[in-house]
Chains A and B, each alone.
Chain A
Amino acid sequence: MSLIVLNGITKIFNRGRPDEFTALSDVSLEIEPRGLAVFKGPSGSGKTTLLSIVGCMAKPSAGRVLVKGREVTSLPDRFLTDIRRHTFGFIFQQLHLVRGISALENVILPAYPSGERLASLRERGVRLLDLLGLSHRADTNVEWLSGGEAQRVAIARALINEPAIVIADEPTAHLDTKLSLDFMAAMERLKAEGKTILFASHDPLVYESAMVDRVLEMRDGRIVAERRAS
């Protein structure tokens, strides 16, 4: 069974206004569990919009989205948030870490409302940071972290609720080659654990990587080509 099914997804911004803009146009696809898929294409092709719809961050203007066989398109905010919290881990292009608090606090922030005891949350958070080689920076405020360190905090944060699907939007945009390779290595480990990984990227280092199972090329809000690794 497919993990995620998108059926005829269309997304129009500013509908009815002079700056109306169609980001996605009748996109349909199925995402199977496990594996790493990359959405490639120039900016404005709709990659970010597609990822945010897949990750239940936005509702499509038309079409249906099914997660684990269950339709989520018309779910009220409460249920959608629940799904978002437990199924997806999102790594934003701009990272979007909360300034003024430590790396560890940022990592465990998504889990605060679960009511889990702080001590146990911190323990899990530290373990995640450790996996990414950042446990020594756990109590540093994020403003003081380097680009690569912040990137890893964002990854750890995406993993705190143990999601099945990890989504990253232009993950290597602010990273140099070494850090990009480190990032891909971290993703490989997650893939090995059985997680499903989705990227949006126009970085060849990402979409030409050996660990990519599927590349979907997008242009003008549509999927125009698809290549699967053999």
Chain B
Amino acid sequence: MNWIDKQRNIVDFALSSLLRRWRKNLALLCVYTFVVFIVASVVFFAEALKREATLVLEGAPDVVVQRLIAGRHDLISRGHMEKLERITGVSDVKGRLWAYYFEPSVGANYTLVVTEEAAGRPGTVAIGAGVSRTLQAGQGDLIAFRGHDGAYVSLEVARVFPSSSELVSADLVEISEEDFRALFGLPEGIYTDLTLRVRNPKETVVVADKIRRLLPDTRPILREEVLRTYEALFDWRGGIVLAIFAGAALAFIIFAWDKATSLTLEERREIGILKAVGWETSEVIVMKSWEGIVISLTAFLLGLVLAYVHVFFTSGTLFEPVLKGWAVLYPRFQPVPFIDPYQVATLFFLTVVPYTVATVIPSWGAATIDPDTIMRQ
């Protein structure tokens, strides 16, 4: 009880100290909160996306086999499929038909994908919400696609994929095989790439090896590799994230430097008075630490709250222009709150400890001098 009361008394004085220079401290708090807000927003956003990718892309094919000719991605034929079917442990070899389609009128890129279900509805397409937005086309509207021969083919929109699935489907156009082959002039037996299933998941690397040896002009891509691609998303080594973090670190360093290299005359005087009226050096240090903790803890909590609201309630609106870049079509999605507690803890330590230390260090010198010196000023 005594210790708590002592701390509360000291905190009272620390708060008095801060309030005395309230304008400066308020500015400091605002900047610091903003820095925490930006960093936490990036961390939350990245983590949420990564986790979602990991969960959702579990549905990706076990192995995708791509053909590369003269350094370019080329189409693959049934012959290759038959060879793959003979590999032990491989099942369900399917040809995948998909293509990129550039719509010049709006400058957007779409991805056309063929599915078995679409075969039952020739002449129609199912489109993603992003496609619908850019073309301003809804259910029942017609979209004209330009074929390989320059002729336009009109297809009716059968349905629009729900908005909740935009993260995977925003730019998709689901089309029947018939329409796809007609549009791109692809004969039967030719596919964009192949997918296959491996019966024993532990065998995938072995199977990939076999594929490479069996079909030297192909490249197998495993689902694990697909998932790892997204672990690198928002990697701090990536230019933009590095720039943001560096900016935040710089802002913090500038402020901490300002604190660390100068005790105002007033602050010096106060420390002298405290020593003179009987405060121990350690108690003065504790008081200064509380000054640092009050600001950094508040900045941390406020910054975190704001970041959470920003990312998970407003879908990270501040990041949208950054993420959109040159793309015309950008998915609208609400990240699902996946939060890594280690990241939060790290952020906490990075926010509170260095700042508190920066506040205490200059005071250390002043707190250890004889109080007699103050009498001479």
Residues of B near A86 (CB, < 8 A) are 278
Which A residues touch B375, using CB under 8 A?
48, 52, 57, 92-93, 96, 169
A86 CA to B376 CA in the complex, in Å?
Answer: 23
Bound: A116/B282 CA distance, A = 18
Q: Is A152 an interface residue (CB 8 A)?
A: no
**Chain A 88-123: CB-based contact to B (< 8 A → 1; otherwise 0):** 001011001111110001000110111111100100
Q: Which residue of B lies closest to A84 (CB)?
A: B278
Question: Contacting chain A: which of B4-12, B161-169, B192-200?
Answer: B4-12
Interface size range on A against B: 35 or more
Q: Would A92 and B276 be within 8 Å (CB), given that A113-B9, A115-B2, A169-B375 are in contact? A: yes
Contact indicator A100/B12 (Cβ below 8 Å): no
What DSSP secondary structure best describes chain B's contact surface? Answer: helix
Shortest beta-carbon distance from B375 to chain A in Å: 6
Complex CA distance for A57 and B279, rounded to whole angstroms: 12
A115 touches B6 (CB 8 A): yes
Are A110 and B279 also in contact (CB < 8 A) when A115-B3, A115-B9, A116-B5 are? yes
- The answer to whether the Cβ of B183 comes within 8 Å of any Cβ in the partner chain is no
Tell me the complex Cα distance, A57–B272, Å: 11
Is B283 among interface residues, defined by CB-CB distance under 8 A? yes
User: What residues of A have a CB within 8 angstroms of the CB of B274 in the complex?
Assistant: 109
Nearest CB of B to A123, in Å: 14
Q: Are B5 and A78 in contact, with the CB atoms below 8 A?
A: no
B9 touches A100 (CB 8 A): no
**B side interface size, CB within 8 A:** 34
> Of A57, A115, A121, which contacts B371 at CB under 8 A?
A57
Cβ of A96: which chain B residues have Cβ within 8 Å of it? 269, 272-273, 276, 374-375
B289-328 CB contact bits vs A (8 Å, 1 = yes)?
A: 0000000000000000000000000000000000000000
Q: Which chain A positions have C-beta within 8 A of B13?
A: 105, 109, 112
A111 → B minimal CB distance (Å) = 8
Residue of B8, B19, B278, B376 near A85 (CB, 8 A) is B278
Interface residues of B in 336-373 (CB under 8 A from A): 368, 370-372
* Alpha-carbon distance A96/B279, docked complex (angstroms): 15
> Which B residues are CB-close (under 8 A) to A161?
278
Q: Please tell me if the beta carbons of B273 and A98 are within 8 angstroms of each other in the complex.
A: yes
Contact A112 B372 (CB under 8 A): no
Chain B residue at minimum C-beta to C-beta distance from A118? B9
Complex Cα spacing A84 to B9, Å: 20
A105 to B19, CA, bound (A): 14
Interfacial residues of chain A within 39-97, with CB under 8 A of chain B in the complex: 48, 52, 57-59, 77-78, 81-82, 84-86, 90, 92-93, 96-97
Do B277 and A157 have beta carbons less than 8 Å apart? yes
Seen from chain B, the residues whose Cβ lies within 8 Å of a Cβ on chain A are 2-3, 5-6, 8-10, 12-13, 16, 19-20, 266, 269-270, 272-283, 368, 370-372, 374-376
